[in-house]
């Protein structure tokens, strides 16, 4: 069967575009969540949409699992191959097809890297707003598939708010357009459904994104605090005052130190936490906002407020934040990044609980957050070579996600469920809700060949998992509705 | 304000309907009954399932029951200097939030501040199996599971009965002004495109009868500085934006079928289509009154990568919303089947076969 599959695929995409040797397959065995690995039968490097349609027709006919892959920077195991299936790489789809300056849109192939779009239109004073920290590497197709966020999403929205149209190839090999070149489209909002669907509903083969004008002026404040509660308070004060910063990010002491060690930025290494608050707009607007934010931070008890003096210093302040993951990677052999989202007002409370969980499990946790929208990224430090350590990390991670659910939040704000958070989906959703997700999946992919086994757990799995776990009503804050 | 939880009764009604294979026609304030095709079925009123469940101004989040009226919501938000981001047209005093979400009708500011889909964070629905289900939530970022919340937006009640909605809300701007520029239609569209390429506190742009109306909203400094560079005569008619939003402007009283044309904003005037035009959303939404045949309008608008909807005064028998391609239609049917396998909810209210 394997030989038949490979030969058939070679006929569709030519021999050189089907990888099948072990050494060729290894680079495709996982994404940035390296704890989960597997080798597929083959990796197919398609070059045209027609080829993808043919590949899908073939795989549909023979019920062969297909895992689509962008740059493989995902953090939830979304591209983990199926051993009895193929990986479909979109890497060769790396062209910007057209930029429409009048309508401020760019039509691009899915393998185009996030940063390339902004680079291509920079001279026209435009940019693509969602900016995941991985933007140098990750692809726009992967961004759509994960509904990726970034520092600027607080003000400018997530991927779903910045994409107008997507073309997909369905499991049956049909090419379908979702959304439109206008601001909306007739019928159901299937564009929203495909966004964040993690490769489960269709292969994204073309994306039209919105472009925004580069603001006239951008400034960043670095604000130092001696307590997490005060930092959380400052965040709440800024937002409730009606100021929506372009970015509002928080780093805790361990992350500050790691970033400082790595890049020598001039971060205050004794601070309990820092906030980076970016404000953009016209010069007058930004000046007014800087004054207001500074005042609010002082009221909240900030120790020091520093305005980046020029563009170089602004970039430097951000460099530490954007490199937080690799910086933490330097101080520990391995780290495990979580992605829960909570309401802003629970920031301090949840952080304190994470602290005590960290003590209980004897595992260090470094924290960075998209504080403005309540998206936490606790990073649990560990050593994968120590037997049993990863299991403890997973358990601690699970506890942190339960905490997020308990305060009315969610288990994933932007990294997706993948294979990693399947169990936690059982905590966040009822069986009726999970069944509804499965029904929606079948609407797009009746035979379940796209990324099978991911994102939505089977009820059977939840029943087994439930047996080992506390139920909703025993979680802390039983008084807080789960909705 | 009324605070009534009718969810149990509504679930009973839906379950009975499933058992008896009796389609239901869902309505809230009946303010949008003119919009879209009519549906068959036993009327079910959601207006008595109403009230605010959770409002946290500092989190910029509001959760309400679907039958809550837009006016009540807007007055509660205004007390905290906040607003709904999509500036919803009401089209009647009793308009409910459930109807606004289901029909996805957006006001003049939505290209800049966001439309219904940009506001919806979570929903609670009764699906076509009679189950009460939650999707999304009250947090700004949430990618757990598929985005069912946004799927409800604009589905015209054909996928489920909306019980509750969580919305992202926005602070009211400190200052708003409108000014006028005299220009032709073609120049106005180009002008809007140029303005859209600058970082300006735009909140609405409408062209009608040789005048381009530009509204700026933002903090005081940004509105003042933008106005200083753009100039133009200030508009004193406070009623203007209301009249555009609620279709009480004289333009809308002309005879003929009212179309909503949605196109890429910089699309030049569509001269092939003969009738009266009012350009909204800086070119992206255009109101068109004409007696031209529906097929012709659909085809001409598709040629410029847009889509058309018969908005008012429907007398055609075909689709009211822009016809879908065969493959889109197939996906739509499958999605309908996934949510409402017995075709209980608003059959035909979006497309004849849904
Ligand atoms: C250092 C680092 C920092 C990060 N920072 C952020 C951040 O700030 N914000 C954020 O949101 N994420 C972040 N991520 C996560 C990751 O970069 C994003 O999820 C990104 O969108 C994945 O893009 P990719 O091209 O690498 O996708 P992949 O990892 O290749 O794939 C991800 C998922 O999308 C599916 N997929 C990919 N392409 C397609 C396609 N064309 N059609 C259908 N399905 C497809 C895959 O099957 C898989 O399920 C970070 C990751 C790293 C390693």
Q: Are B115 and A184 in contact (CB under 8 A)?
A: yes
CATH number (domain holding residue A234): 3.30.70.2190
Question: Each residue of B104-115: b (16+ CB within 10 Å) or e?
Answer: bbbbbbbbbbbb
Parent domain of A370: 333-473
Answer whether A67 contacts ligand 1 (Cβ < 6 A): yes
- Measured in degrees and rounded to the nearest 5, phi and psi for residue B213 equal -100, 120
Query: How distant is the Cα of B247 from the closest Cα of chain A, in angstroms?
Result: 20
Is B335's CB within 8 Å of A188's CB? yes
Domain shared by A425 and A338, yes or no: yes
pLDDT of A472 > 50? The answer is no
SS3 content of chain B, % helix, strand, coil (to 5): 30, 25, 40
Domain shared by A292 and A342, yes or no: no
Helix, strand or coil for residue A138?
coil
Distance A128 CA to ligand 1 centre (A): 16
Task: List the beta bridge partners of residue B176.
Answer: B217
Instruction: Supply the DSSP symbol for B19.
Output: H
Nearest ligand 1 atom to alpha carbon A370: 8
| Closest residue in chain B to residue A216, using alpha carbons only | B199
Task: List the beta bridge partners of residue A158.
Answer: none
Distance A87 CA to ligand 1 centre (A): 15
- Measured in degrees and rounded to the nearest 5, phi and psi for residue A56 equal -65, -40
- Predicted confidence at residue A242, as pLDDT, reads 85
Q: What is the Cα–Cα distance from A202 to A425, expressed in whole angstroms?
A: 21
Residue A450 included in any domain? yes
Is A483's CB within 8 Å of B138's CB? yes
Domain shared by A322 and A359, yes or no: no
Residue A364 included in any domain? yes
A218 close contact with B: CB closer than 8 A: no
Which of A73, A89, A105 terminates a domain? The answer is A89
CATH number (domain holding residue A403): 3.30.70.2740
Burial class (CB in 10 A: 0-12, 13-18, 19+), B217: buried
CATH number (domain holding residue A26): 3.30.43.10
Answer whether A141 contacts ligand 1 (Cβ < 6 A): yes
Residue A480 included in any domain? no
Query: How distant is the Cα of A203 from the closest Cα of chain B, in angstroms?
Result: 15
Residue A109 included in any domain? yes
Domain shared by A361 and A463, yes or no: yes
Chain B partners within 8 Å of A411 (Cβ): 144
Mean per-residue pLDDT of chain A: 94
Domain shared by A163 and A239, yes or no: no
Residue in A34, A74, A141, A153 to alter for ligand 1 test, most ligand atoms within 8 A of Cβ: A74
pLDDT band with cut points at 50, 70 and 90 for residue B2:
confident
Token duo for residue A109 = 């192939």
Answer whether A398 contacts ligand 1 (Cβ < 6 A): no
Chain position carrying tokens 């043919």? A54
Q: Whose CA is nearest to atom 50 of ligand 1?
A: A134
Contacts of A234 (CB under 8 A, 6+ apart): A223, A225, A275, A296, A297, A300, A301, A302
Q: Are B88 and B100 in contact (CB under 8 A)?
A: yes
Token duo for residue B71 = 């006016």
Q: Whose CA is nearest to atom 53 of ligand 1?
A: A73
Q: Are B169 and B140 in contact (CB under 8 A)?
A: no
Q: What is the Cα–Cα distance from A394 to B87, expressed in whole angstroms?
A: 45
Q: For residue range B231-253, list pLDDT tens digits in order.
A: 899 998 889 999 999 999 999 99
- Long-range contact list for A114-118, CB < 8 A, 24+ apart? A114/A138, A114/A139, A114/A140, A114/A143, A114/A148, A117/A209, A117/A211
Is B307's CB within 8 Å of A195's CB? no
Is A289's CB within 8 Å of B144's CB? no
Answer whether A70 contacts ligand 1 (Cβ < 6 A): yes
Instruction: Supply the DSSP symbol for B251.
Output: G
**What's the total number of domains in chain A?**
4
Answer whether A40 contacts ligand 1 (Cβ < 6 A): no
Distance B80 CA to ligand 1 centre (A): 38
**Using alpha carbons only, how large is chain A's radius of gyration in Å?**
23
Q: Average pLDDT for residues A291-299, to the nearest whole number?
A: 97
Q: Whose CA is nearest to atom 13 of ligand 1?
A: A132
Is B142's CB within 8 Å of A341's CB? yes
Q: What is the Cα–Cα distance from A78 to A87, expressed in whole angstroms?
A: 11
Q: Average pLDDT for residues A385-397, to the nearest whole number?
A: 93
Answer whether A130 contacts ligand 1 (Cβ < 6 A): no
Burial class (CB in 10 A: 0-12, 13-18, 19+), A386: exposed
- Which of A:248-267 have CB within 8 Å of B? none
Is B146's CB within 8 Å of A197's CB? yes
Domain shared by A249 and A345, yes or no: no
> Number of residue pairs across A and B with CB atoms under 8 Å?
277
- Predicted confidence at residue B122, as pLDDT, reads 98
pLDDT of B203 > 60? The answer is yes
pLDDT of A477 > 50? The answer is no
pLDDT of B313 > 90? The answer is no
Answer whether A65 contacts ligand 1 (Cβ < 6 A): no
Domain shared by A317 and A343, yes or no: no
Domain shared by A47 and A157, yes or no: no
Domain shared by A339 and A265, yes or no: no
Task: List the beta bridge partners of residue A176.
Answer: A168
- Measured in degrees and rounded to the nearest 5, phi and psi for residue B261 equal -110, 125
Domain shared by A203 and A244, yes or no: no
Domain shared by A462 and A383, yes or no: yes
Mutation target to probe the A interface, by most A beta carbons within 10 A, among B64, B117, B118, B140 is: B140
Task: Using CB atoms, pick whichever of A124, A176, A409 lies closest to residue B327.
Answer: A176
Q: Are A65 and A20 in contact (CB under 8 A)?
A: no
Answer whether A341 contacts ligand 1 (Cβ < 6 A): no
Token duo for residue A337 = 């990044």
Q: What is the maximal distance between C-alpha atoms in chain A?
A: 70
User: Could you tell me how many residues make up chain B?
Assistant: 354
pLDDT band with cut points at 50, 70 and 90 for residue B329:
very high
Q: Are A318 and A249 in contact (CB under 8 A)?
A: no
CATH number (domain holding residue A164): 3.30.465.10
A468 close contact with B: CB closer than 8 A: no
Burial class (CB in 10 A: 0-12, 13-18, 19+), A269: exposed
- Predicted confidence at residue A240, as pLDDT, reads 85
Residue A479 included in any domain? no
Structural domains in chain B, sorted by start? 7-172 (3.30.465.10), 175-245 (3.30.70)
Token duo for residue A442 = 């079948």
- Predicted confidence at residue B315, as pLDDT, reads 65
Q: Are A109 and A139 in contact (CB under 8 A)?
A: no
Domain shared by A148 and A273, yes or no: no
Q: Average pLDDT for residues A446-459, to the nearest whole number?
A: 97
CA distances from A224 to A227, A245, A248, A267, B179 (A): 9, 17, 13, 9, 43
Residue A174 included in any domain? yes
Cα dihedral A233→A237→A243→A249 (10° resolution): 0
Task: Using CB atoms, pick whichever of B142, B143, B264 lies closest to residue A181.
Answer: B264
pLDDT band with cut points at 50, 70 and 90 for residue A481:
very low
Instruction: Supply the DSSP symbol for B104.
Output: T
**Using alpha carbons only, how large is chain B's radius of gyration in Å?**
21
Chain position carrying tokens 């470094």? A366
Residue A483 included in any domain? no
A203 close contact with B: CB closer than 8 A: no
Q: Whose CA is nearest to atom 44 of ligand 1?
A: A199
Which of A213, A234, A265 terminates a domain? The answer is A213
Chain A partners within 8 Å of B64 (Cβ): none
Which of A167, A188, A213 terminates a domain? The answer is A213
Q: For residue range A183-226, list pLDDT tens digits in order.
A: 999 999 999 999 999 999 999 999 999 999 999 999 999 999 99
**∠ at Cα A77 (A73, A83), nearest 5°?**
115
| Closest residue in chain B to residue A184, using alpha carbons only | B262
Reported ipTM: the value is: 0.97
Q: For residue range B113-127, list pLDDT tens digits in order.
A: 999 999 999 999 999
Helix residue spans in A14-161 (DSSP H): 22-25, 49-62, 114-121, 140-146, 153-156
């Amino acid at each position: 069967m394997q030989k038949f599959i490979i030969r058939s695929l070679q006929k569709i995409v030519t021999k050189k575009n089907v990888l099948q040797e072990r050494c060729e397959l290894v680079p495709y065995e996982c994404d940035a969540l390296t704890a989960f690995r597997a080798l597929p039968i083959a990796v197919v490097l398609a070059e045209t949409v027609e080829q993808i349609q043919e590949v899908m027709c073939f795989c549909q006919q023979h019920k062969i699992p297909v895992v689509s892959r962008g740059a493989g920077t995902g953090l939830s195991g979304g591209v983990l191959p199926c051993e009895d299936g193929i990986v479909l790489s979109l890497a060769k789809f790396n062209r910007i097809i057209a930029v429409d300056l009048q309508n401020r849109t760019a039509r691009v192939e899915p393998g185009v890297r996030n940063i390339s779009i902004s680079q291509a239109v920079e001279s026209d004073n435009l940019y693509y707003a969602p900016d995941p920290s991985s933007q140098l590497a990750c692809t726009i197709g992967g961004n759509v598939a994960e509904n990726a966020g970034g520092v600027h999403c607080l003000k400018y929205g997530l991927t779903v708010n910045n994409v107008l149209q997507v073309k997909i190839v369905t499991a049956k090999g049909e090419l379908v357009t979702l959304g439109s070149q206008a601001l909306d489209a007739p019928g159901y909002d299937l564009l929203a459904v495909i966004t964040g669907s993690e490769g489960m509903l269709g292969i994204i083969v073309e994306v039209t994104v919105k472009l925004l004008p580069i603001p006239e002026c951008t400034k960043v404040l670095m604000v130092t605090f001696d307590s997490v509660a005060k930092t959380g308070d400052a965040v709440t004060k800024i937002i409730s005052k009606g100021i929506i910063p372009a970015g509002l990010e928080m780093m805790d002491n361990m992350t500050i130190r790691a970033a400082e060690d790595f890049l020598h930025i001039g971060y205050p290494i004794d601070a309990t936490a820092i906030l980076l608050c970016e404000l953009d707009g016209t010069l007058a607007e930004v000046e007014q906002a800087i004054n207001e934010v500074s005042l609010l931070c002082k009221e909240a008890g900030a120790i020091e407020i520093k305005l980046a003096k020029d563009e170089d210093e602004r970039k430097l302040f951000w460099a530490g934040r954007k490199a937080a993951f690799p910086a933490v990677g330097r101080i520990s052999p391995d780290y495990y990044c979580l992605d829960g989202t909570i309401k802003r007002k629970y920031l301090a409370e949840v952080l304190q609980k994470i602290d005590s969980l960290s003590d209980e499990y004897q595992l260090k946790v470094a924290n960075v957050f998209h504080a403005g929208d309540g998206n936490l990224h606790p990073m649990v430090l560990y050593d994968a070579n120590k037997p049993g350590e990863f299991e403890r990390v997973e358990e601690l991670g699970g506890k942190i996600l339960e905490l997020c659910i308990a305060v009315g939040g969610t288990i994933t704000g932007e990294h997706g469920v993948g294979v990693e958070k399947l169990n936690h989906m059982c905590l966040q959703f009822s069986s009726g809700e999970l069944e509804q997700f499965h029904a929606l999946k079948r609407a797009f992919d009746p035979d379940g060949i796209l990324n099978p086994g991911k994102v939505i757990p089977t009820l059977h799995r939840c029943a087994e998992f439930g047996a080992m776990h506390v139920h909703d009503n025993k979680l802390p804050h039983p008084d807080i509705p789960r909705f | 304000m009324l605070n009534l939880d009718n969810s149990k009764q509504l679930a009973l009604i839906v379950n009975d309907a499933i058992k008896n294979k009796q389609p239901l026609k869902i309505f809230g304030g009946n303010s949008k009954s003119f919009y879209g095709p009519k549906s068959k079925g036993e009327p079910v009123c959601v207006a008595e399932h109403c009230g605010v469940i959770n409002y946290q101004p500092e989190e910029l989040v509001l959760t309400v029951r679907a039958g809550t009226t837009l006016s009540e919501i807007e007055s509660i938000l205004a007390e905290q200097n906040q607003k709904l981001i999509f500036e919803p047209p009401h089209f009647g005093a009793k308009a409910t939030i459930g109807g606004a979400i289901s029909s996805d009708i957006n006001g003049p500011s939505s290209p800049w501040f966001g439309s219904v889909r940009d506001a919806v964070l979570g929903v609670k629905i009764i699906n076509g199996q009679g189950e009460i289900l939650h999707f999304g939530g009250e947090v700004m970022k949430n990618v757990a599971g598929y985005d069912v919340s946004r799927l409800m937006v604009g589905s015209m009640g054909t996928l489920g009965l909306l019980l509750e909605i969580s919305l992202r809300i926005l602070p009211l701007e400190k200052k708003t002004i409108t000014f006028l520029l005299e220009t032709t239609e073609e120049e106005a569209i180009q002008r809007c495109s140029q303005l859209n390429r600058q970082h300006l506190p735009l909140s609405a742009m409408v062209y009608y009868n040789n005048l381009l109306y530009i509204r700026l909203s933002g903090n005081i400094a940004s509105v003042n500085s933008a106005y200083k560079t753009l100039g133009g005569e200030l508009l004193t008619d406070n009623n203007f934006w209301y009249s555009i939003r609620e279709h009480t402007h004289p333009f809308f009283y002309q005879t003929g079928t009212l179309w909503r044309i949605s196109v890429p904003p910089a699309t030049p005037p569509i001269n092939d289509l003969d009738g009266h035009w009012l350009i909204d959303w800086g070119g992206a939404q255009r109101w068109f009154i004409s007696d031209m045949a529906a097929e012709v309008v659909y085809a001409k608008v598709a040629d410029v990568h847009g889509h058309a909807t018969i908005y008012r005064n429907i007398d055609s028998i075909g689709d009211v919303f822009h016809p879908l391609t065969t493959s889109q239609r197939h996906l739509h049917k499958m999605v309908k089947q996934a949510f409402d396998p017995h075709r209980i909810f608003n059959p035909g209210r979006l497309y004849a076969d849904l």
